[in-house]
Amino acid sequence: MSNRSAYATEYGLPTEDNITDPNQVVRAFRRRLPLFFITMLFVFAAVAIFTFQARPVYSTGASVIIDVRETNVVDFGSVLSGLAPDSAVVDTEVEIIRSRSLAEKIVRKLNLVESPEFNPLLQEPGMVDNLKSSVGSFVKGIFGGASEAPVRTRTPDEAEKREMDLVVSVLLHKTGAYRIGTTYGIQITADSHDPELAAAIANGIADQYLVEQLDAKYEATRRANAWIEDQLSDLRVELNEAESLVEAYRSASGLFATGQTTLNEQQMTDLNAQLIVQRADLAEREARLNSMRSIAQSGGSAEVSGEALQSPVINELRRQQAEINREKADLENRYLPNHPEIQRINREIANVDTQIQTEVRRIVSNLESEVTISRQRLNSLERNLSSMRATLAENNRASVRLRELERNAEASRTTYETYLERYKQIDDQEDLAEADARILSRATVPGVPSFPKTSLNLAIGLVLGGLLGGLMVIVIESLNSQISTGEDIETNFKVPFLGNFPQISGAGRKDPGEYLVSNPMSSYAEALRNLRASLMFADLDSTVKTVAITSSQPDEGKSTLTYGLGRMSAMSGTRTLIIDGDFRRRQLSMNSVGDTPSHGFLEFLFGECSIEEAVLKDEKTDLDILPLTVDRHTPRDVFGSKVFDEMLESLKDTYDLIIFDTGPILLMAETRVLAGKVDQTVVVARWLKTNRAALKETLSILADFGANVTGIALNRVDMNKYHRQGYGHSGYGSYGKYYSSD
């Protein structure tokens, strides 16, 4: 197992400091109390300044409610139905209220483009804007603007649109809409520096929302009417074409209609009626003719027939015949048959009879002609009726197609009438449209600003400042990697803590060695005594005669501590030698003997002088000092040489305690070699300066080189601050009475 592994196994790895222990928390706050109060006061002051400098903002709100009840003035369906009463619909309406289109209408309605509160382009640039502009100009000046793309000039329309977009965005930021619990109500809020404008915006949004609903219904109705009107136009053309086809086919097929029947059917009905009448007329005429013929065939006088009796000519001739017969009878009574008068009368009678017979024959001839004509007319009617029947049969066959065309026309007419009726309904409905929501309450002009709330803001600032201050303390303590207490050393590095070495104040700070001699009962002297005792009893199996004092980095006080430990050891009666092993800075030599020695450690090591010539005596304490001269340097590995080993063995015979002041172990390799050769090594850490990572690496290196680490001494501790800030425990304060000059 390597030395490093052995060290890790024995002492463990450093652990992170924590302040979970209540005592640690209290001590942490005591240490960081100024930071806590500064942070708290800074936050409180910032909140107070912001509160008193902030421009007041007035908030108000209007509320609308979605009306789930539906009013039906007339009994026909709506083009755009009412809103369904469910959660998704209410949330959707909230989004409609928050839409940019509605906000833009409010901007135009209230002319918010002219308001600097809502139009950033009209606002005076603030301190932040000026700072941004200055930084931008500075950056452009450094990097140049040659590579920048040319800025395209906006057209007036584009500039107006950009300005409108900015105002709409600000308005949406200053307004809000949310559902009221689980109800159908929606709360609309508005903020503004002007209370009247805030109320106008909230009410304007509520009113515009209702207008939007009505506009949506009107628009839907107009679109429906426009669509139906287009359909009606097409249906009207289709209906006209269908009816034209019916009439064209009716005309082509001869299916002319008169009322509910066709022309052929009407004509056929008329022909049937005429045929019946004509047959009766023929029968009558034939009966009259047959009657006269029967009278003639039976030897009767035809002039006594009904036809003859109805003739005015025969009646006149018969009257003449009767008068002549009376006259004849009178003449026969007076004259003889051969009398001329008798003969004249006979001739007149014969003439009348001849006329009567002639008239009877004419009547018979007329009857025969009438019968002939009537029979011809009957035959003509029968022929026409037969032809009409054939035409009707053809028409009946054509009626199948005609009825099909009529059905198509009727279907088109029904569809057209349905659309026409719906068009009139929608046209009537446009006047009855109403919004699906109503205003529940209108926004009032607020009398008290909603922001800032002075008392609340100050309380929040105080609480926030305290929280942030506490957080800063926790963060600083968590990130603090500096060595602060012996408990920190023993807990994190598992090595002994060799004590706190106070920082000397006043005149003694310039020469701690003189302060030690002048104040042998001080806490500084007592710390050195404790360190000497720790070294003497570090190894109970053997005597400790050689000690190396080292540190992780420069300026941690190891040279001062070496000089003080040497003087304290010499004052205690121990033959002590301190050797300056820091070849680069020779801080020990400068603190103890200055730049006067002509011989020193290197001259003695290389045999250029004797030990008596190299060692200087401290007259006040009888401490022997082996310094480094100013001009002597060497690139050789001094501590790793055999000559050094021999020198060290010879010095052990002369001195009881040999203390080496070395260079920082993280910077000088020879220190690591020396640490492996001496009996004990003391690591000096500067209070609140040395960090854990450096100390961890130092201890690891010492473990690699097999050094016996006595412990870690905490140097330059401000004891007043140490106790005041809680680095020690409560009993440390009473220790001061035991030390003089503290």
Q: What is the pLDDT of residue 128?
A: 57
Q: Are strands 58-66 and 437-441 parallel, antiparallel or unpaired?
A: antiparallel
| DSSP class of 503 | P
Mean pLDDT, residues 338-350 taken together: 81
Helix (H) or strand (E) holding 404: helix 340-429
Helix (H) or strand (E) holding 134: helix 127-143
Question: Range with the lowest mean pLDDT among 275-284, 446-455, 474-483?
Answer: 474-483
Residues 268-285 pLDDT 10s: 778 788 888 888 887 877
Query: Which residues are CB-neighbours of 104 under 8 A, at least 6 positions away?
Result: 164, 168
Q: What is the pLDDT of residue 444?
A: 93
- Whole-angstrom distance, CA of residue 315 vs CA of residue 305: 12
How confident is residue 41, by pLDDT bands cut at 50, 70 and 90?
A: very high
Q: Please check the confidence at residue 490 and state whether its pLDDT lies above 90.
A: no
Which range among 97-101, 293-297, 333-337, 454-458 has the greatest average pLDDT? 97-101
Higher pLDDT, 66 or 308: 66
- Whole-angstrom distance, CA of residue 608 vs CA of residue 634: 14
- Strand boundaries in 397-523, DSSP class E: 437-441, 497-502
Q: What is the pLDDT of residue 481?
A: 75
How confident is residue 387, by pLDDT bands cut at 50, 70 and 90?
A: confident
Q: Got the DSSP string for 232-271?
A: HHHHHHHHHHHHHHHHHHHHHHT--EETTEEHHHHHHHHH
Q: Which of 66, 370, 399, 373 is nearest to 261 (CA)?
A: 399
Query: Which residues are CB-neighbours of 16 under 8 A, at least 6 positions away?
Result: 478, 492
Question: Exposed e or buried b for every residue in 103-121, given b needs 16+ CB within 10 A?
Answer: bbbbbeebebbebebbbee
Length of the chain: 742
| DSSP class of 321 | H
CA atoms within 13 A on the CB side of 634: 16
Q: Count CB neighbours of 720 within 10 A.
A: 14
Query: Which residues are CB-neighbours of 47 under 8 A, at least 6 positions away?
Result: 457, 458, 460, 461, 464, 465
Question: Range with the lowest mean pLDDT among 129-138, 313-322, 720-729?
Answer: 720-729
Estimate the crossing angle of helix 100-110 against helix 195-253, to 10 degrees.
120
How confident is residue 309, by pLDDT bands cut at 50, 70 and 90?
A: low
Mean pLDDT, residues 491-511 taken together: 81
Q: Please check the confidence at residue 139 and state whether its pLDDT lies above 50.
A: yes
Categorise residue 279: left if φ over 0, alpha if ψ from -120 to 50, beta otherwise: alpha
- Whole-angstrom distance, CA of residue 127 vs CA of residue 558: 52
Residues 228-269 pLDDT 10s: 777 778 878 887 888 788 778 777 766 655 555 666 667 777
* 3-class secondary-structure state, position 657: strand
Q: What is the pLDDT of residue 332?
A: 77
What share of the chain has pLDDT > 90, as a percent?
A: 19
Q: What is the pLDDT of residue 73?
A: 45
For residue 393, give Cα distances in angstroms to 251, 257, 583: 16, 16, 144
Residue holding tokens 């015979």?
653
Q: What is the pLDDT of residue 688?
A: 83
Q: What is the pLDDT of residue 135?
A: 74
How confident is residue 300, by pLDDT bands cut at 50, 70 and 90?
A: very low
Q: Please check the confidence at residue 426 and state whether its pLDDT lies above 90.
A: no
What share of the chain has pLDDT > 70, as a percent?
A: 80
Residues 44-65 pLDDT 10s: 899 889 888 888 999 999 999 9
Residue holding tokens 């994190």?
492
Mean pLDDT, residues 423-439 taken together: 67
Q: Please check the confidence at residue 339 and state whether its pLDDT lies above 70.
A: yes
Q: Please check the confidence at residue 689 and state whether its pLDDT lies above 90.
A: no
Residues 152-211 pLDDT 10s: 677 888 889 999 999 999 999 999 999 998 888 999 999 999 999 999 999 999 999 988
Question: Range with the lowest mean pLDDT among 17-21, 704-708, 716-720, 723-727?
Answer: 17-21
CA atoms within 13 A on the CB side of 204: 20
- Whole-angstrom distance, CA of residue 290 vs CA of residue 284: 10
| DSSP class of 681 | E
Q: Are strands 58-66 and 185-192 parallel, antiparallel or unpaired?
A: antiparallel
Please state the three-class secondary structure of 366-393 as a single string. HHHHHHHHHHHHHHHHHHHHHHHHHHHH
Higher pLDDT, 71 or 31: 31
- Whole-angstrom distance, CA of residue 684 vs CA of residue 119: 66
Instruction: Provide the token pair at 378.
Output: 């009957």
Name the pTM for this structure.
0.51
- Whole-angstrom distance, CA of residue 692 vs CA of residue 495: 13
| DSSP class of 296 | H
Q: What is the pLDDT of residue 542?
A: 84
Which range among 473-477, 480-484, 616-620 has the greatest average pLDDT? 616-620
Q: Please check the confidence at residue 17 and state whether its pLDDT lies above 60.
A: no
Q: Count CB neighbours of 675 within 10 A.
A: 26
Amino acid at 414: T
Q: What is the pLDDT of residue 739?
A: 55
Question: Range with the lowest mean pLDDT among 226-230, 463-467, 549-553, 633-637?
Answer: 633-637
SS3 content of the chain, % helix, strand, coil (to 5): 60, 10, 30
Q: Under a CB-based contact definition with an 8 Å cutoff, are residues 739 and 500 in contact?
A: no
Q: Which of 500, 503, 501, 484 is nearest to 492 (CA)?
A: 484
Mean pLDDT, residues 672-699 taken together: 89
Q: Under a CB-based contact definition with an 8 Å cutoff, are residues 538 and 710 in contact?
A: yes
Q: Under a CB-based contact definition with an 8 Å cutoff, are residues 65 and 184 in contact?
A: yes
Helix (H) or strand (E) holding 626: strand 623-626
Q: Please check the confidence at residue 2 and state whether its pLDDT lies above 70.
A: no
- Whole-angstrom distance, CA of residue 261 vs CA of residue 255: 9
* 3-class secondary-structure state, position 710: strand
Q: Under a CB-based contact definition with an 8 Å cutoff, are residues 313 and 359 in contact?
A: yes
Mean pLDDT, residues 113-141 taken together: 76
